[in-house]
Amino acid sequence: MGHSPDKRDKVVIAGAVTDAENDVHFAPPRVRGRDGAPFSIAIPQRLHAALIEMPSRPATPIFGLSLLVRLVLCCQRVGAQRIYVGGAGTTSAKLPEAHPFVAALEIEFVASLDSILRRMGPHALCLRIHGNPVLSPFHLERLLDLHRAHPDHAVSCCSAAGGGCTRVEVGTSRQLLEGAPRLACDVPTPALDGTVAAHDVELSLARELPRQTAAKDAPLARMIDRRLSWRISLEIARTAITPNQVTVAATIVGLLSAVLFAIPAYSVRLAAAALFLASTTLDGVDGEVARLKFAESRFGAHLDTLTDNLVHLCLFVGIMIGCYRASARSAYLVLIAVMLGGMITFYVAGQRARRVDGPAAKAWLDHLEQLTGRDFAYVLLLLALVDHLEYFAWGASLGAYVVAMSLWRATTKRLRSHELTATKTLPLYDNRGLLDELDSLLRARDLPPPAPVMRRLRRTSG
């Protein structure tokens, strides 16, 4: 079926948005999780449109999702207001399946992407994809960041793997049409060109995972945990195992370690420390699998933070009980109450520190993620080796108050200097505490997956 530039097939997934002829105003991008609840994506600079030239291998599965659907999802995650898929003879039949996250976006199939660029304003920021790149939102965010730093140049990332030609470009519509100078970006872009197999590009995507969380990970997690977790995530993402199932497995291992810490035997407590370290590694796997499979959900995020809080609470209580049983000193029972008070104090300080906005907010929140990381699992293992877990019991109980007060003072200092501004909202998927997360979990249950892989598509004529 042939198409002229003015006659287009429109495929609307989970609802239509504004008229395609109006390229002046765009509503904020809206995404729906698997639970169906919409939320906005914060994008520093509005990306007006993503233009995808129909890949030569659109149906090739990568971690269970076809290449074309992965490209659409990547463009959605970086805030594309509209997504166009172009090429001679392109129709909606080329879209093998839809994904629950592709919502409130209009996917238009057109014969010519150049005609779309010409209809846009000259300063409309666009993303253009040619060939068979296998991207993640992390790749596209780096390209967009580079263009923001050099707005006078279009940014281009090329790959010639397997004898093909893959190109990803970011620039204004005028820059992309008129062949403005391209600023080369060294972002490694795996591609399904030539004889390159899906297995190889899956490996490339998994190897990128540690870089995506490097700014938030605590030092030991970055240097040790992530080097192991991405390999586990690669194998799990190739199966039908879901991220939530990984979360449950990590929770079971963590709770088992808490029970073993309560037993006053050297070998058992050493095994408990090793199990807790394993649970911290698995705790990073669920998020990595979700990113590889585009399986993030509001329910999964609440489940993850709820189980983290639960494991931490049981772990500290288990250690206190073990120390009490080993020494018969009632002070360790009092320390349980002291520790709970410290956790509440730290929670209050943490909530205040996270309710911020402003140019420095992202770096500040990343620093908080590092502060609240699980590097203490290595301290636990070391103390279990030397059989002095009582040091951890006293240090954790009293240290929580010191860290909470330091965090409160640091937040106050930055608010007074106007580096940060206070806000009433928390970042999306932030840790809100055990009870809040339990309440959110009960209200954010996942919807059942759509019947087979084909979501209802509505075709209209333009």
Residue 88 pLDDT: 56
Least confident range from 104-108, 127-131, 158-162: namely 158-162
The C-alpha atoms of residue 119 and residue 115 are separated, in whole angstroms, by 6
Phi first, then psi, for residue 20 (nearest 5°) are: -65, -20
Q: What is the per-residue pLDDT across 335-373, written as a single tens digit (0 to 9) for each?
A: 989 988 988 898 888 888 878 777 777 777 777 777 777
The percent of the chain in helix, strand and coil, each rounded to the nearest 5, is 50, 15, 35
Residue 196 pLDDT: 81
Q: What is the per-residue pLDDT across 267-309, written as a single tens digit (0 to 9) for each?
A: 999 999 999 999 999 999 999 999 999 988 888 888 888 899 8
Please report, in angstroms and rounded to a whole number, the separation of the first and last CA atoms in the chain. Answer: 15
Residue 307 pLDDT: 92
The C-alpha atoms of residue 169 and residue 147 are separated, in whole angstroms, by 10
| Res 103 pLDDT > 60 | no
Residue 267 pLDDT: 95
Phi first, then psi, for residue 373 (nearest 5°) are: -70, 180
- 161 pLDDT band, cuts 50/70/90, is low
Tokens read off for 12:
């609307």
Q: Enumerate domains of the chain plus CATH numbers.
A: 9-207 (3.90.550), 212-442 (1.20.120.1760)
The C-alpha atoms of residue 86 and residue 153 are separated, in whole angstroms, by 24
Phi first, then psi, for residue 375 (nearest 5°) are: -65, -20
Residue 384 pLDDT: 95
| Res 234 pLDDT > 80 | yes
- Answer for the pair 157, 143: CB distance below 8 angstroms, yes or no: yes
Q: What is the per-residue pLDDT across 105-128, written as a single tens digit (0 to 9) for each?
A: 568 888 888 888 888 888 899 999
CA atoms within 13 A on the CB side of 127: 35
